[in-house]
Amino acid sequence: MDRTDDTGTAHSTATETGPATGTGPATGTGPATATGPATATGPAEGAVLAAIRRHAVAILPDLRPADIVPERTLAELGLNSVDRSEVVTNVMDDLDVYVPITEFRQAMPVGDLVGLFERHR
């Protein structure tokens, strides 16, 4: 959204510096953490990251969507192997995509998961 100041200059009021909240589509324009940039760069990648966040939080309600960033693994966030499998299966269902199990590896960062799902869309 844009606003105009007293001089007639338009300014964007979109938040580009705060962490992702998981409540809307991720755009990849804000930082994923206080120390590094987000790796998701487009709306499609944002949709994949949002799906991962949604399903991870559904399984582990104490997990904050903003903690699910491209640099972290789901295991680091506290999801066990069964939880991670459920997240992956649910995301594939949401995106109507199939990724062969052989393409997943242990301790895969969320950003790599996003890329993997994107390659199979």
pLDDT exceeds cutoff 50 at 78: yes
What CATH number did the domain enclosing 106 receive?
1.10.1200.10
The pLDDT value recorded for residue 42 is 61
pLDDT at 11 over 70: no
- Residue 93's pLDDT is 96
Give residues with Cβ within 8 angstroms of 111, minimum separation 6: 39, 40, 69, 70, 71
The verdict on residue 87 lying in a domain is yes
pTM, two decimal places: 0.64
Residue 19: which pLDDT band, with cuts at 50, 70 and 90?
Answer: very low
- Domain membership of residue 58 as a residue range: 47-120
Which of 4-13, 21-30, 92-101 is modeled with the greatest confidence?
92-101
Confidence band (pLDDT; 50, 70, 90) for 44?
low
Total domain count, the chain: 1
Residue 106: exposure state from Cβ atoms within 10 A (0-12, 13-18, ≥19):
exposed
